[in-house]
Chains A and B, each alone.
Chain A
Amino acid sequence: EVYLLESGGGLVQPGGSLRLSCETSGFSFRNYAMSWVRQAPGKGLEWVTTIRGNGDTTYNAESVKGRFTISRDNSKSTVYLQMNSLRVEDTAVFYCAKDVYESGTSEFDYWGQGTLVTVSS
């Protein structure tokens, strides 16, 4: 069975940093792209970033370019999201999602339960 488990969320001050992790199991991790999708309180889904299966290519939403970095450790079946220069508007539940292809699409067949990031002074 496929599992995705996010961790690392919490309360951080504006301008601060946070690193999210998404540990996975139940599938050949290196063969699939992984993404982060966030949802601000009471709002819709917003794609954040995607990393291809071999880790050589990433795609980022304009709203997080230069501040957020996605990475992965295929030996640990884990994907990370390093978030720097956090803003109040980054407050959201962050979900990691498994793509159905190595290259990255918008077809996410499995999602984690989400981790809440709150940016506030």
Chain B
Amino acid sequence: QSVLTQPPSVSGTPEQRVAISCSGSRSNIGTNYVHWYQQIPGTAPQLLIYRNNQRPSGVPDRFSGSKSGTSASLAISGLRSGDEADYYCATWDDSLSGVVFGGGTKLTVL
């Protein structure tokens, strides 16, 4: 049972927009930045969105993040087959004094 709650899976068709939610509490999302990681099967995770809504260089603007209260969301527009991956939200938890990850969401492009 992860501290941050994500849907196990989402799917969409090419060019569609999907959103992945990440729900937490006051001690984690409510207080700290949320970051999103993309993990293509068989590879290491990569930072996709940092500090709620910032994109590292090289990440297309089809990917966007937002945060409100104790929840965060990752949106992907203009879906492509190459976006198929597992997506994880992460943040610091002040009560646990440690990093917490969401359980991960598997994105399938139909």
Contacts and interface: CB of A to CB of B under 8 A. Distances in A.
B33 interface: yes
B51 interface: yes
Of the four ranges (under 10, 10 to 19, 20 to 34, 35 or more), the interface on chain A belongs to: 20 to 34
Contact of A45 (B33, B51, B92, B104): B104
B92 A106 contact: yes
Interface stretch (A9-17, A66-74, A81-89, A110-118): A110-118
A106 B90 contact: yes
Nearest to B91: A106
B50 interface: yes
A99 to B, nearest CB: 9
Contacts of A61: 98
Contacts of A108: 35, 37, 45, 47
A61 B45 CA distance: 19
A61 B98 CA distance: 7
Contacts of A112: 44
Majority secondary structure of chain A interface residues (helix, strand, loop or mixed): strand
A111 B50 contact: no
Contact of B56 (A47, A50, A62, A109): A109
Interface string B74-101: 0000000000001010111000111111
A116 B107 CA distance: 25
Given A44-B88, A44-B103, A105-B33, A95 B2 contact: no
A21 interface: no
A59 interface: yes
Interface string A53-68: 0000001111000000
Contacts of B33: 105-107
B46 interface: yes
A32 B90 CA distance: 18
Nearest to B39: A45
Interface of A: 35, 37, 44-47, 50, 59-62, 95, 100, 105-109, 111-114
In order of increasing CB-CB distance, the 10 nearest A-B pairs are A47-B99, A44-B104, A111-B44, A106-B99, A106-B90, A45-B101, A44-B103, A106-B92, A59-B98, A107-B35
